[in-house]
Amino acid sequence: MVFNTLSTNSTLPMSSMVDALLKGERWAVAKAISILEDDGIQAREIVEIIFKHSGNSRVIGVTGPAGAGKSTLVGKMIGVYRARGFRVGVLAVDPSSSISGGAILGDRVRMQEHALDDGTYIRSMASRGASGGISFALRDAIRVLDVAGFNRIIVESVGAGQLDVKISSIADVTIVVLNPQTGDSIQAIKAGLTEVGDIYVVNKADISGANALYNDIRALVAEGRDAVAVLKTVASTGKGVDELVDAIEQSLSRKLSNGYKEIIRKRVESELMDIVFNMLAKMVKERVGIEHEMIERVIAKEIDPYKAAESIVAKVVRYE
Amino acid sequence: MVFNTLSTNSTLPMSSMVDALLKGERWAVAKAISILEDDGIQAREIVEIIFKHSGNSRVIGVTGPAGAGKSTLVGKMIGVYRARGFRVGVLAVDPSSSISGGAILGDRVRMQEHALDDGTYIRSMASRGASGGISFALRDAIRVLDVAGFNRIIVESVGAGQLDVKISSIADVTIVVLNPQTGDSIQAIKAGLTEVGDIYVVNKADISGANALYNDIRALVAEGRDAVAVLKTVASTGKGVDELVDAIEQSLSRKLSNGYKEIIRKRVESELMDIVFNMLAKMVKERVGIEHEMIERVIAKEIDPYKAAESIVAKVVRYE
């Protein structure tokens, strides 16, 4: 499972690595994503070189509360996609939270049957703690899998509030997986997931409560939204997964033929905002750190915090 | 309980309202906090006027998991503080989450016995959804209560992760309340609360499991931290609440005589950062929103997102 042990040669030139990456070689994929996670100057170089080759894959976001069976479902989705001739990349976003960290590692094991298949690449990515940190590495890791020829990329995220919503701004199709056993599914839905899903999956559909949840979800997402599918699956047996992949592909076709340019535009805009904010935030943070006099003036009540902040911002940023 | 029905005159000049506020008149307190929650231009005006009068009160943060008995405890703390001659303001931070919203409303009722006492002011504040949104209104609402002469201000927050940690950066003394009945107390502690508390309260100390929790907490917080108190209370009967108020006042005295200037400095710095980031986020959103050509170039893969972001940053940053 530890693919990047192959890439021990750290003096290897970037161009050789990128060449191998474009040929879809696993060690280069592993190496490139590790470099992205390190977030150094080399990360920028990789993106600069591969960006123009990217944009050929479709990204499927899979989210939902912990315990909904997302990883088992993703494992079965890989099988269906492979049988249909696709090459499948999986990025499992692992929030740094100590509570959920264990679950994802366990979940990866469930996908292990695909680990030695050359048309499948599975990787978990750790959140870098800083807000928005995972978004940068995740977007760029998707580009790496994309240029390496994985034409369906599944991004699995543990249901951790904000991140779920973020996933839907990165993925082409977002799937929300729910479990009839956990009573708070409807709460989770109400808390914002009703807005983000293209497809809602009631997993563990063979247990009691599944039909009630299915009907609830249908009622909830039906209000004023077109083209939202609600499906039932039993991930452990694979039941309904073929139909799920059909629904994903239908959703993709619909989007690609209908306003996809606008989706891409919004996505680029949102990525630029993230990067610009991140760059400015670093600058301003340094600036505030050296604003001892301003801080003293606020402490002395000579100036209020909003006025002080305004004058710091004005020093860093040019108003037009 | 709805104090701000008294402030029906919306054409009242700001200066009259602030004059009334400085005299401690309730309607002015209610009106001012409502204006802060609306977050308009008037909010900035209020802070500008009252800021120089602020800084005379001590802020006590009360946090911990839902169901720990925080509101009942706060109700009893009000009684003890009133008996000692203090004027007490309470701000209950109400995350917009539909799950916990109901609890806080119910909890306010438990404090109702103090609602007609002129030396007590109780208010719940809704989170404005935007990240960091509640922090601004909360800091400013504390200033309002402060200049209105409430010399002990209790901020109660539902244990909602990030917010708890935020509270400790706003409060002079932070109390973490735990319930022996909920098995996840230790988890909550491990998840970050061991870092933020000055005082840990094992509430419902009359039930089984209380001693075990008390010993666990003592062991956990004892590691390498001075001046942390662990206490037992029974909020429903008031047992231990006098001792809790003693511990709070001791903690305050210790901090005031020992490095308080540095605490204030850090707090001002953190507030400035928050305000500055908020201003930047708005600015970046507007700026990127008009960068149509740059967005088109990224869509066309002529330029990668980081390069594009850099060139946007270069336009707005004032290099020195």
Average pLDDT, chain A: 82
Burial of A241 (0-12, 13-18, 19+ CB in 10 A): buried
Which DSSP string corresponds to B22-79? HTT-HHHHHHHHHHHHHTSHHHHHHHHHHGGG---SEEEEEE-STTS-HHHHHHHHHH
Say whether domain A52-258 belongs to CATH 3.40.50.300. Answer: yes
Give the DSSP letter string of B265-281: HHHHHHHHHHHHHHHHH
Confidence (pLDDT) at A220: 78
Report pLDDT for B171.
93
Smallest Cβ–Cβ distance between A271 and the set B54, B98, B305 belongs to: B305
Spell B4-26 as b/e; 16+ CB within 10 A means b.
beebeeeeeeeeebbebbeebbb
For every one of its 320 residues, what pLDDT tens digit does chain B have, with 9 covering 90 and above? 334 434 444 556 888 999 999 999 999 999 999 898 887 888 899 999 999 999 999 999 998 877 788 989 999 999 999 999 999 999 988 654 433 333 444 455 556 666 667 899 999 886 554 444 567 888 999 999 999 999 999 999 865 455 555 788 889 999 999 888 876 666 666 666 677 889 999 999 998 889 988 988 888 776 656 678 999 999 999 999 999 999 999 999 999 998 888 889 989 988 898 888 888 888 888 888 889 999 999 999 999 999 999 999 988 887 65
Each domain of chain A, given as residue ranges in start order, spans: 52-258, 266-316
Contact B268 A295 (CB under 8 A): yes
ipTM over cut 0.85: no
Reduced to 3 states (helix: H, G, I; strand: E, B; else coil), residue A24 is coil
Among candidate residues B4, B80, B99, the one with its CA nearest the CA of residue B238: B80
Query: Which CATH number is B47-258 given?
Result: 3.40.50.300
A187: confidence class by pLDDT, cuts 50, 70, 90: low
The predicted model scores a pTM of 0.73
- Reported as half-sphere exposure (CB side, CA atoms, 13 A), residue B112 has a value of 9
Is B129 in the A-facing interface, judged by CB distances under 8 Å?
no
Among A60, A1, A52, smallest CA distance to A26 is for: A1
With CA atoms as reference, report the closest residue to A284 among A263, A265, A311.
A311
| Residues of chain B contacting residue A318, judged by C-beta atoms under 8 Å apart | 315-318
What distance in Å separates the CA atoms of residue B137 and residue B63, rounded to the nearest whole number?
Answer: 18
Contact at CB, B316 and A318, closer than 8 angstroms: yes
Residue A112 has pLDDT above 80, yes or no: no
Picking from B131, B284, B304, the nearest residue to A273 by CB comes out as B284
What's the pLDDT tens digit per position in A236-292?
999 999 999 999 999 999 999 988 899 899 999 989 988 998 888 888 888 777 888
- In B, minimum Cα distance to A52 occurs at B301
Q: CB of A212 within 8 Å of any CB in chain B? A: no
Q: Does A191 touch chain B (CB under 8 A)?
A: yes
For residue B236, the model assigns a pLDDT of 93
Cα gap A38→A125, rounded to integer Å: 11
